[in-house]
């Protein structure tokens, strides 16, 4: 039997193990060459040690056209350059600067330049005003505008509708704290508590379409989140809607239509009169959610999404399950990094991991998951091409896999950059269960149609299985087999290997040096029993020499012959031995520069022994 090709248009990832073409991805791009699955570009660290950026914004409020960035409640950064990846990012040293920024927005102009306003813990500052050209007035709200100090809540989101600014706050109305919206008009006239919301909510998100504001209110006591629609001039807000979930983590607008993501991993779209679920992250079947606290700092931040045309980029921190035996990692399918949501075909998948790469040709970490904190993401034109820029803090090991971390701003490096192997990357995709037409099939091999290699070091590595993945038999949540490990050399590490792992299985490095790499286990110094530390030897040298501690993820993938030809674009991969089962699942790893797959076609025949029964 010859199964249909997978696919003509790649689809995924979807709930369950039998739907779509993709069950899981890491560092994959379905947008660059429609109809092809492409190894993604990768991130390289542009700067480090200045903190995780919550928001990027370009302004000439200092009389210099440059980019500013907020490190929440810690610092303001600027780079002195009109390119987001140009100049040198430094701590803001403009006269009057401060260190507790919350959110920022442009509002009107004076002295020939824009004005930048920035909410603080209890005040609002302005950069560039009449009588104070190109310097900060750090108490503009309480002194110049003579307003009552803001309540020192975690976040004071702001948005601009035409020439009206809205600021989220909390005030004491009679004896009850209530979330409110203050406004500042074009003449700097303030309307304090212009909108007052029901008790028990906090304003987390604020954004504006062409003719109305949209405010995202979190339910502080576990009640459903509310989305507030307001035209900016009515006496009170126009409509309120509910979302499933308490926390609207991030949102964006497409052609004026708002979308939101809640902590349940659901993506909602406004459908006129309410919101409907468009897609969801692959977490529900694992009993996971993104966040259960207001901060939600290890999941998705308010400015952790960016829309460009039909494509939304989302900087995701894999959900953390505190106290779980799987080392609190992003278990099952979730991986940290930038995900893509296609608003047209609803594809939702992992696109680009964030690691420790800082120098061309030095392969350190292709993807770290979980990250310590994800930050903002933005896509800008630089050097005449679109380029993603993101921020995050990633763990780099130490006494434990997450003892220390490095923060940074990361820029996208295109995979066609072969100089010093600058764009070299690794990634993979996993198919759902491909079902047999009979009770059992004998799976013989795989046809792979792919883009001819542009580099002799490119590889496509085929792995397969006809059995359920390995699970932790001792864990109540049936989590995957994960454990903390320590690198001993480029080919060995030590680890308390979980029971059930065997030679020939795979280990995926989730954090630290060599993060994002997958290796076959060639030798185990002893039979794993889940209690004794043993030495694991892998079948090839890891890219980076290290003594890091890291999270090792073990699974039962069987490796087949790797594709290494630089000339052909269609190749038959026979399985090392025929596999008999009622389904097959495939894991295809891509390594190198500009690696792309058109289709895969598994071949099988009826298992005659089963048929004769």
Which distant-in-sequence residues (6+ apart) come within 8 Å of 608 by Cβ? none
The pLDDT of residue 327 is 57
Does the domain formed by 473-555 have CATH 2.40.30? yes
Residue 326 CA, distance from chain mean position: 20
Burial environment of residue 17 by CB neighbours within 10 A (0 to 12, 13 to 18, 19 or more):
middle
Residue with tokens 């739907």: 19
Beta partners for 76? 70
The pLDDT of residue 565 is 80
How many other CB atoms are found less than 10 A from the CB of residue 266? 21
Whole-angstrom distance, CA of residue 279 vs CA of residue 265: 9
CA-to-CA dists, residue 146 to 155, 195, 587, angstroms: 21, 19, 62
Q: 421: helix, coil or strand? A: helix
Q: Which residues of the chain have pLDDT under 50?
A: 1-2, 4, 294-296, 324-326, 328-330, 608-613
The pLDDT of residue 246 is 93
Q: What is the CATH number of domain 55-320+373-395?
A: 2.120.10
Tokens standing for residue 117: 């306003």
Give the containing element (helix H, strand E) for 544.
none
Tokens standing for residue 426: 């690794």
**C-alpha atoms less than 13 angstroms from C-alpha of 489 in its C-beta half-sphere:** 9
The pLDDT of residue 173 is 72
Which distant-in-sequence residues (6+ apart) come within 8 Å of 323 by Cβ? none
Q: 502: helix, coil or strand? A: coil
Residues 96-109 pLDDT 10s? 999 999 999 999 99
Buried/exposed code over 361-375 (b: 16+ C-beta within 10 A; e: otherwise) = eebbbbbbbbbbbbb
Q: 141: helix, coil or strand? A: helix
Q: 332: helix, coil or strand? A: coil
Contact 52, 393 (CB under 8 A): yes
Residue 19 CA, distance from chain mean position: 23
Q: 560: helix, coil or strand? A: coil
Residue with tokens 């248009």: 9
Whole-angstrom distance, CA of residue 531 vs CA of residue 256: 56
Beta partners for 330? none
The pLDDT of residue 255 is 96
Torsion of CA 175, 177, 178, 184, to 10 degrees: 100
Q: Is the peptide bond before 13 cis (omega within 30 degrees of 0)?
A: yes
Tokens standing for residue 194: 């212009």
Q: Which residue in 33, 37, 46 sits closest to 412, CA to CA?
A: 46
**C-alpha atoms less than 13 angstroms from C-alpha of 207 in its C-beta half-sphere:** 19
Q: Is the peptide bond before 370 cis (omega within 30 degrees of 0)?
A: yes
Contact 311, 40 (CB under 8 A): no
Q: Which residue in 59, 23, 28 sits closest to 42, CA to CA?
A: 28
The length of the chain, given as a count of residues: 613
Rg of the chain, C-alpha, whole Å = 26
Tokens standing for residue 606: 């009826």
Q: How large is the greatest C-alpha to C-alpha distance in the chain, in angstroms?
A: 93
The pLDDT of residue 248 is 95
The pLDDT of residue 238 is 97
Q: Distance from first CA to last CA of the chain, Å, rounded? A: 20
Which distant-in-sequence residues (6+ apart) come within 8 Å of 92 by Cβ? 68, 75, 76, 77, 78
- Please count the helices (runs of H) and the strands (runs of E) in the chain: 1, 45
Q: What are phi and psi of 142, to 5 degrees?
A: -85, -25
Strand 596-606 to strand 434-435: parallel, antiparallel, or no bridges (unpaired)? unpaired
Contact 441, 582 (CB under 8 A): yes
Whole-angstrom distance, CA of residue 480 vs CA of residue 127: 51
List the chain domain ranges. Answer: 55-320+373-395, 473-555
Q: Which residue in 2, 21, 27 sits closest to 369, CA to CA?
A: 27
Residues 296-354 pLDDT 10s? 457 899 999 999 999 999 999 988 665 544 454 445 789 999 999 999 999 999 999 99
Tokens standing for residue 547: 């003594």
- 3-state SS of 293-350? CCCCCCCCCCCCEEEECCEEEEEECCCCCCCCCCCCCCCCCCCCEEEEEECCCCCEEE
Torsion of CA 355, 360, 363, 369, to 10 degrees: 10
The pLDDT of residue 24 is 94
The pLDDT of residue 474 is 61
Q: State the pTM of this model.
A: 0.95
Tokens standing for residue 496: 């308390």
Buried/exposed code over 213-223 (b: 16+ C-beta within 10 A; e: otherwise) = bbbbbbbeeee
Topology agreement, domain 55-320+373-395 and domain 473-555? no
The pLDDT of residue 444 is 87
Burial environment of residue 445 by CB neighbours within 10 A (0 to 12, 13 to 18, 19 or more):
buried
Contact 347, 337 (CB under 8 A): no
Contact 68, 92 (CB under 8 A): yes
Residue 604 CA, distance from chain mean position: 37
């Amino acid at each position: 039997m010859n199964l249909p090709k997978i696919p003509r248009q790649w689809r995924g990832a979807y709930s369950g193990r039998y739907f779509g073409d993709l069950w899981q991805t890491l560092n994959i791009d379905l947008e660059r060459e429609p109809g092809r699955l492409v190894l993604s570009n990768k991130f390289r660290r542009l700067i480090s040690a200045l903190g995780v950026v919550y928001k990027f914004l370009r302004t000439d409020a200092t009389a210099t056209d440059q980019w500013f960035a907020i490190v929440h409640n810690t610092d303001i950064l600027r780079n002195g350059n009109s390119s987001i990846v140009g100049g040198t990012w430094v701590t803001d040293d403009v006269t009057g600067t401060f260190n507790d920024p919350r959110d920022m927005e442009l509002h009107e102009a004076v002295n020939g330049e824009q004005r930048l306003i920035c909410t603080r813990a209890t005040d609002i500052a302005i950069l560039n005003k009449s009588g104070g050209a190109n310097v900060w007035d750090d108490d503009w709200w309480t002194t110049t505008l003579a307003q009552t100090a803001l309540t020192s809540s975690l976040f004071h989101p702001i948005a601009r509708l035409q020439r009206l600014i809205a600021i989220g706050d909390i005030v004491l109305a009679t004896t009850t704290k209530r979330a409110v919206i203050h406004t500042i008009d074009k003449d700097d006239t303030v309307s304090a508590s212009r909108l007052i919301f029901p008790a028990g909510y906090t304003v987390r998100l604020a954004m504006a379409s062409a003719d109305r504001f949209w405010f995202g209110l979190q339910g502080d006591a576990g009640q459903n989140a509310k989305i507030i629609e307001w035209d900016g001039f009515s006496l009170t807000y126009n409509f309120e809607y509910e979302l499933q979930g308490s926390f609207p983590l991030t949102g964006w607008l497409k052609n004026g239509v708002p979308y939101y993501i809640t902590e349940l991993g659901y993506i909602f779209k406004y459908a006129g009169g309410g919101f409907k679920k468009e897609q969801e992250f692959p977490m529900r079947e694992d009993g996971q959610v993104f966040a259960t606290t207001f901060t939600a700092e290890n999941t998705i931040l308010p400015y952790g999404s960016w829309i460009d045309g039909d494509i939304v980029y989302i900087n995701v921190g894999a959900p953390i399950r505190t106290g779980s035996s799987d080392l609190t990692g992003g278990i099952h399918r979730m991986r940290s990094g930038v995900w893509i949501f296609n608003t047209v075909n609803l594809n939702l998948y992992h696109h680009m991991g964030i690691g420790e790469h800082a120098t061309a040709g030095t392969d350190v970490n292709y993807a770290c998951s979980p990250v310590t904190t994800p930050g903002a993401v933005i896509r800008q034109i630089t050097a005449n091409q679109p380029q993603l820029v993101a921020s995050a803090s990633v763990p780099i090991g130490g006494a434990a896999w997450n003892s220390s971390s490095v923060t940074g701003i990361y820029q996208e490096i295109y995979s066609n950059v072969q100089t010093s192997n600058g764009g070299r990357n690794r990634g993979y995709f996993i198919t759902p269960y491909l079902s047999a037409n009979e009770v059992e099939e004998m799976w013989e091999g795989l046809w792979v149609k792919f883009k001819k290699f542009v580099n002799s070091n490119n590889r496509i590595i085929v792995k397969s299985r006809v059995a359920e993945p390995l699970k932790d038999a001792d864990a109540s949540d049936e989590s995957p087999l994960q454990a903390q490990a320590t690198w001993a050399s480029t080919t060995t590490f030590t680890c308390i290997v979980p029971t059930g792992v065997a030679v020939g299985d795979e280990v995926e490095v989730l954090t630290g040096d060599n993060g994002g790499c997958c290796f076959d286990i060639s030798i185990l110094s002893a039979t794993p029993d889940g209690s004794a530390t043993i030495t694991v030897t892998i079948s090839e040298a890891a890219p980076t020499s290290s003594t890091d501690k890291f999270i090792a993820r073990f699974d039962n993938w069987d490796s087949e012959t790797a594709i290494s030809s630089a000339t052909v674009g269609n190749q038959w991969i026979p399985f090392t031995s025929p596999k008999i089962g009622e389904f097959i699942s495939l894991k295809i790893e891509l390594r190198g520069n500009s690696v792309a797959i058109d289709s895969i076609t598994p071949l099988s025949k009826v298992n005659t022994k089963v048929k004769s029964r």
